Amino acid sequence: MMMKIWIMVMVTMGVAGATNHNGPQYTALCDLLAKAVFMLEKKRGNLSEPLEKALERTIFGKDSGATVEDLRKNKLPSGYSGTERGYLCGNPFDPATHKQWPLYYPGYSGLHDMLCLCTPGENGWPLNKQVAGADKLCGQDIKTWGEDGYMGWASGGYEDGENQLTATWTNITLPCLKGGDGAGDLKSALQKFKKKLGEPVQKDPPYEPLGEGNFSDNFPCTGYSDRGVCVAYYNNTDPKPWWIQLEVAIQEDEKKKLDEEKRKLQTQSSVKATDLTSPTNTTWSRRNTTNITNRKSGSAIPQQLWLLDAVFFI
């Protein structure tokens, strides 16, 4: 009996000390993606052009006119096999590097960044040093990545990472594309996502990290234990991260709607003013004023007029 109690205590302590690595960041990004998917699918063609393009960039990485249903049906997008995680997740966009891996870079899309945020790194980092299998990455334990859980996606060609990326795409990324539960305030979801960004790192160029990592040098988010599993957003270089484009588009859309509402109110006020000063109303007003003046003055009606009235009555 005493042994059973000790086992329960040890298990409880192990679970209590567990860490959900990048859990809050993933939740915020997933919620934002769900709302973006919902808005694009429900209102596509009826949105302002900047907002529609920004939503497509958020989901697809470009305004290609693709459908979310295509993403739901397909496996991991092409272009990740044999890639350097540091270049795709941690380094600023570089034209020369982009020629070698032409599809992706940090901030390319919300879906791409989720792969950077939620795919285990070197030897399954950070899940390879957990206690009693309790630690999680983006809400998933190491079983999500199956027999390949103790391998991962890192820089230097040490590990390919394609199997781990596929597992991340299937089990972590795709659930965020349901869209049906995404009704809500897109702007509010974006603000919650931004609050999960780390403190700006003053390097050359500066960046804002999303996720866990060592941000003391210029080569973060490589997937190695000393660099981390994360995304680095370089907001002062081009192309800008997807979420900055989305934020600008939301602001422009709000301004456009506000301007339209102001014009509508001005038009309504102008119509009312025109009605009050129209010739018909002016003539009626003058006649009414004359009658009221005559009554108030108490002046007698001229004799010619009442004699004429008398003739008519006869």
Find residue 176's DSSP bridge partners: none
By the 8 A CB rule, do 189 and 198 touch? Answer: no
Q: How many residues are given for the chain?
A: 314
Amino acid at 167: A
pTM, rounded to two decimals: 0.79
* DSSP 8-state secondary structure symbol assigned to residue 90: I
Encode the chain (314 residues) as per-residue pLDDT tens digits: 443 433 333 333 345 568 999 999 999 999 999 999 999 999 999 999 999 999 999 999 987 778 999 899 888 998 888 888 999 999 999 888 777 767 799 999 999 999 999 999 998 999 986 555 689 999 999 999 986 667 889 987 656 688 899 999 999 999 999 876 666 799 999 999 999 999 999 998 999 999 999 998 788 999 999 999 999 999 999 999 999 999 999 999 999 888 888 888 877 776 666 666 655 555 444 445 444 444 444 544 444 433 334 333 33
Query: Beta strands of the chain (E only): which ranges?
Result: 20-21, 136-137, 208-213, 228-233
Count of Cβ atoms closer than 10 Å to residue 68 Cβ: 20
Q: Give the domain ranges of the chain.
A: 18-255
Residue 285 to residue 266: CA distance in whole angstroms: 26
In the numeric block, the tokens 């003053």 are attached to 202
* CA angle centred on 128, ends 229 and 110, rounded to 5°: 25
Residue 108 to residue 103: CA distance in whole angstroms: 9
Residue 296 to residue 108: CA distance in whole angstroms: 81
Question: 120-140 b/e with 16+ CB inside 10 Å = b?
Answer: bbbbbbbbbebeeebbbbbbb
Residue 254 to residue 67: CA distance in whole angstroms: 25
Q: How many helices (H) and strands (E) does the chain have?
A: 12, 4
Residue 100: φ, ψ to 5°: -80, -40
Amino acid at 48: S
